[in-house]
Chain A
Amino acid sequence: MAQALSKPGGTKRPEPLRKPIKALPFPLSLGQTAIGKKWLMALTGIGLIGFVVAHMIGNLHVYEGPAVLAEYAESLRTLGSGLFPRGLILWIMRLGLIAMFGIHIWAAVTLNAMNLKATSGAYPGGRDYIAANFASRTMRWTGPIILLYVLFHLADLTWGWWLGDNFVHGDPYHNMDASFNRIPVLIIYIVANVALAFHIFHGAWSMFQSLGINNPKYNMARKGIAAGLAGLILVGNLSFPILNAAGLTDEENRQCPPAAEDVLECLEEQLVEGHG
């Protein structure tokens, strides 16, 4: 029996699970408490959702053909190119993204550890969930799935680890098609994006709570916004493999065959001619 005196005198209470914190200066102090961490998770979550949305919108260029997609990809590298060296802004954004991922994951891992400590195991007699849904209860699984998928995705389509000779740097249209042509990748992609949608659904709703965004006028809409956002991202992202399989993105009849030596120049010329 964990009965103990937690304060001098007669009051009997269980011992606290955690020692009292010594507050660091702001903003480090936010990292010391669960509510602060949830707040950081919500903020980084907003950033990451922003990335996911932007990434999806950017990729929609695929429907405009290989040349526009390649131009979009190039434009990311030349962001702010009038002022900064090529790739600098992109790298700053990438570092920001990595930092957000890092903070998000660190908060999740430490909060999870705190929660494991706070619970005393499952109910051996079983328990019912009433409000908690699949999304909320699987955050700790969809999160790692997304992380692993991001790493896989980078290795597959940014570094071209597995496509080998079939990987054409600078021709995402081709790389995507090549990647989707492998059934296991297709399955990984779909599973990961479903996980992402669930994660975003609960994450977005949770974000309102964690940030204390609460107004009776629109509280009813919060779950709807979260569901809409998750649904939009899911539809957009899943459209790529589906429409690819349906033949809407046609790799066979490209004017610039990806195998050609001069594919990049060819794509550029196509743009100049004005028909992507």
Chain B
Amino acid sequence: MSGYSDVLDSKVPDGPMAEKWTNHKFNMKLVNPANKRKFEVIVVGTGLAGASAAATMGELGYKVKAFTFHDSPRRAHSIAAQGGINAAKNYQNDGDSVHRLFYDTVKGGDYRSREANVHRLAEVSVNIIDQAAAQGVPFAREYGGLLANRSFGGAQVSRTFYARGQTGQQLLLGAYSALMRQVNEGGVELFNRQEMLELVTKDGEACGIVCRDVITGEISSHTAHAVVLATGGYGNVYYLSTNAMMCNVTAAWRAHRKGAMFANPCYTQIHPTCIPSSDPFQSKLTLMSESLRNDGRIWVPDNFDEVRAAGDIPEAERDYYLERKYPAFGNLVPRDVASRNAKTVVDAGKGVGPLKNGVYLDFADAIARDGEDTVRAKYGNLFDMYERITGENPYKQPMRIYPATHYTMGGLWVDYHLMTTVPGCYAIGEANFSDHGANRLGASALMQGLADGYFVLPYTIGDQLAGKLGSDPVPADDPVFKDAIADVNDRTNKWLSVNGTKSVDHYHRELGKLVWDYIGMERNKNGLEKAISEITSLEEEFEKNVRVLGSADTLNQSLEKVGRVSDFFGLAKLKARDALVREESAGGHFREEHQTDEGEAQRDDENFSHVTAWDWNGEGEAQTEHREELVFNEVPLTQRSYK
């Protein structure tokens, strides 16, 4: 095993866990305020992580260039997070602490995350709330004017802060406003409608990016001392997911192709409570807040090919399978368990709805117990949203739900500084693999994105930049930039000249089906091997038969998509390989071969207590596997059980 890990240095500082970050902040090299102006930093992506990092570094005095392919930073998909953000504030005096949040996150991640990173995340979580409140984020308040909390995602303490059902939007608006303040004051230069298509490296170090202006098609080079990727996750490799239509892996994948190792691509979180797809042209799935499981009961009919309406099925012919299998947690089992069980019953042919692709989430008991008004007060807007999308009234008939891809724990491998294996290239937020291990807890994604952006990266980036004092960025007319632009143009011309018969979306949909079927909630060796060969042949067909109309010098959405889907093909193959080599079940990765007698995930800490990071070897070559061994000193390894 040691043969795998020699190249990955996590740079976790020494010392006791609780002091690592504090000591490290002191030990890092600082950049003198007058010198910060001399360093240029590129931030790609302006979601929670990107906007907060760009704003903070702008405040510190770095010359920051922030890039978004949207018209405005506020449209990044962080905006869609509903539930809340965790912080170890212990305002409720219920025994929460930094250590407990750290412990819960490591355990929730099924012991596949790096302890030191998670501890740091828990430490800075408290600062995030202070920061956001100061920016005017309208968190929910008690009547006394103090912040309200709720318990979320099965946590035993109330540590989740929220702003109605749109915490993501409010936190992003906070980070966005901080960013716009810096834009106004000149600390950050904002490039909107620019899609990053290439990471540029010189002598192995990141020195800039190449972008395409999505409106004019103009290709431009941007140079810097450091490049920060805050470009989100790769959930859209499944085609159907709760991600936004434009979420993609391209920036991360381009960095991977330039030497940034890609870690744990097999870890994907499948969220249990989404609205099932209703027709073959469904473009995305909509998530319903997990809080619905607090009062809703999940069931399927006992009979295969049940045709009666839900209300007509007598109690005796219903299978409340979660309550039956997990009497202690019942409908509140963690996301991965709930998702997998839904798949099991639907695969068995007991699915409900016109396409038999969902399970019931029934509020009849809650309405009978608490009254319709109480249920409306708690979930009214979610019920309205459900009715808007499905045309069914959840007060009268049970909701139909089914799991959908929601978040990706894998991503670019980063060290304790959040730097990838390409020096000078950093990855933050969902784009990196860091803090969630094999499974992310509810209300932790917002926390991690903002922790990285506000409180971690702005410190750690100085350590590396300090060593570059006096050096100018690689000029934009350097051959490395010319080569990168040529690569981008070659790809563009290639896609425009294929002139096949099928749309990009067609291939994306086909790819998504393969990935969902073979690398979805349950994986096995045969399926994964099949996935690799089928994805490869689909990719060949895609390259020969895709049709991209129009030209490169204008807004061309097919052209934008084709590049992204092409990168998804690469990622999908790597994801299958990663799932294949991880001969255990952990969190969002469930291998049928590795389950307990009761059908639960069976970890193999002996052999797989590591991060798998893949190193690019060139087009057409298989990536090389590397490993970072994970050491658990603070949190004892136990098998998760929700019986």
Q: In the complex, are the beta carbons of B190 and A11 less than 8 A apart?
A: yes
- Chain A residues, Cβ within 8 Å of B192: 10-12
| Residues of B participating in the A interface, judged by any CB pair closer than 8 Å | 65, 67, 183, 189-194, 213, 215-216
In the complex, A3 Cα to B190 Cα: how many Å?
Answer: 16
Q: Does A121 contact B (CB under 8 A)?
A: no
Once bound together, how far apart are the Cα atoms of A9 and B189, in whole Å?
6
CB of A166 to closest CB in B, whole Å? 68
B215 and A3: CB pair below 8 A? yes
Q: Kindly list 19 other residue pairs between chains A and B, CB separation below 8 angstroms, not including A10-B65, A11-B183.
A: A1-B215, A3-B215, A3-B216, A9-B189, A9-B190, A10-B67, A10-B189, A10-B190, A10-B191, A10-B192, A10-B194, A11-B189, A11-B190, A11-B191, A11-B192, A12-B192, A12-B193, A12-B213, A12-B215
Chain A: CB-nearest residue to B194: A10
The 9 closest A-B pairs by CB, nearest first: A10-B191, A9-B189, A11-B190, A10-B189, A12-B192, A12-B193, A11-B192, A10-B190, A3-B215
Q: Which residue of B lies closest to A10 (CB)?
A: B191
22 contacts between A and B (CB under 8 A): A1-B215, A3-B215, A3-B216, A9-B189, A9-B190, A9-B191, A10-B65, A10-B67, A10-B189, A10-B190, A10-B191, A10-B192, A10-B194, A11-B183, A11-B189, A11-B190, A11-B191, A11-B192, A12-B192, A12-B193, A12-B213, A12-B215
A1-25 interface mask toward B, CB cutoff 8 Å, 1 = contact, 0 = none? 1010000011110000000000000
Complex Cα–Cα for A11 and B46 (A): 14
* Chain A residues within 8 Å of B, Cβ to Cβ: 1, 3, 9-12
Q: What residues on B are CB-neighbors of A12 within 8 Å?
A: 192-193, 213, 215
Give the nearest-CB partner of A1 in chain B. Answer: B215
Considering the chains assembled together, what is the distance between the CA atoms of A12 and B189 in angstroms? 11
Complex CA distance for A59 and B183, rounded to whole angstroms: 62
> What separation, in Å, do the CA atoms of A127 and B192 have in the docked complex?
31
CA distance A12 to B194 in the complex (A): 10
What secondary structure prevails in chain A residues at the interface with B?
loop
Residues of A close to B183: CB separation below 8 A: 11
Chain B: CB-nearest residue to A13: B192
A10 to B218, CA, bound (A): 13
- Distance A1 CA – B189 CA, assembled complex (angstroms): 23
Interface SS of chain B: strand
Central interface residue in A1, A3, A12, by most chain B CB within 10 Å: A12
A1 to B554, CA, bound (A): 11
Distance A1 CA – B215 CA, assembled complex (angstroms): 10
Measured between beta carbons, the chain A residues less than 8 angstroms from B190 are 9-11
Cα of A9 to Cα of B194 in the assembled complex, Å = 13
How long is the Cα–Cα vector from A200 to B67 in the complex, in angstroms? 50
Residue of A1, A9, A10, A12 most packed against chain B (CB within 10 A): A10
Q: Using CB atoms, name the residue of chain B closest to A11.
A: B190
CB neighbours (8 Å) of A10 from chain B are 65, 67, 189-192, 194
Distance in angstroms from A204 CB to nearest chain B CB is: 33
Q: Which residue of A lies closest to B65 (CB)?
A: A10
- Residue of B whose beta carbon sits closest to that of A9: B189
Q: How far is the CB of B186 from chain A (nearest CB, A)?
A: 9
Min CB distance A2 to B, Å, is: 12
In the bound complex, how far is the Cα of B71 from the Cα of A3, in angstroms? 12
Q: Which residues of B contact A9 (CB under 8 A)?
A: 189-191
The docked-state distance in angstroms from the alpha carbon of A12 to that of B183 is: 13
Closest CB-CB distance, B174 to chain A, in whole Å? 20
With a cutoff of 8 Å between Cβ atoms, the chain A residues found around residue B191 in the complex are: 9-11
Nearest-CB residue, chain A, relative to B183: A11
Could you tell me the distance in whole angstroms from the C-beta of A103 to the nearest C-beta in chain B?
35
Docked Cα-Cα span, A3 to B67, in Å, equals 18
Q: Would you give the shortest CB distance from B562 to chain A, in whole angstroms?
A: 24
User: What's the least CB distance linking B351 to chain A, in Å?
Assistant: 41
Query: In the assembly, what is the distance between CA of A12 and CA of B216, in Å?
Result: 11
Residue of A nearest to B216 (CB): A3
Bound-state CA distance A10–B65 (Å) is: 9
Whole-angstrom CA separation of A10 from B221 in the bound complex: 12
CB closest chain-A residue, reference B213: A12
Q: Which residues of A contact B213 (CB under 8 A)?
A: 12
CB-CB under 8 A from B194, the residues of chain A are 10
Across-interface contacts of A3 in B (CB, < 8 A)? 215-216
B58 to A: closest C-beta gap in Å: 13
A3 to B191, CA, bound (A): 14
Q: Which residues of A contact B189 (CB under 8 A)?
A: 9-11
A11 to B183, CA, bound (A): 9
Give every chain A residue within 8 A of B215 (Cβ-Cβ): 1, 3, 12
Task: Kindly state the separation between the CA atoms of A1 and B216 in the bound complex, as whole angstroms.
Answer: 10
CA distance A3 to B218 in the complex (A): 13
Report the minimum CB–CB distance from A140 to chain B (whole Å). Answer: 32
What's the nearest-Cβ distance from chain A to residue B68, in Å?
A: 10
Shortest CB–CB separation between residue B41 and chain A, in angstroms?
14
In the docked arrangement, what's the CA distance between A80 and B215, Å? 71
Q: How far is the CA of A9 from the CA of B183 in the complex (A)?
A: 10
Taking CB as reference atom, which chain A residue is nearest B191? A10
Residues in B neighbouring A11, C-beta threshold 8 A: 183, 189-192
B residues in contact with A1, CB < 8 Å:
215
Tell me the bound Cα distance from A3 to B192 in angstroms: 12
Q: What residues of A have a CB within 8 angstroms of the CB of B193 in the complex?
A: 12
A176 to B32, CA, bound (A): 86
Shortest Cβ distance from A7 into B: residue: B183
B193 to chain A minimum Cβ distance, whole angstroms, is 6
Q: Give Cα A10–Cα B194 distance, bound, in whole angstroms.
A: 9
Of all chain A residues, which has the CB nearest B222? A10
Q: Separation in Å of the B448 CB from the closest CB of chain A?
A: 28
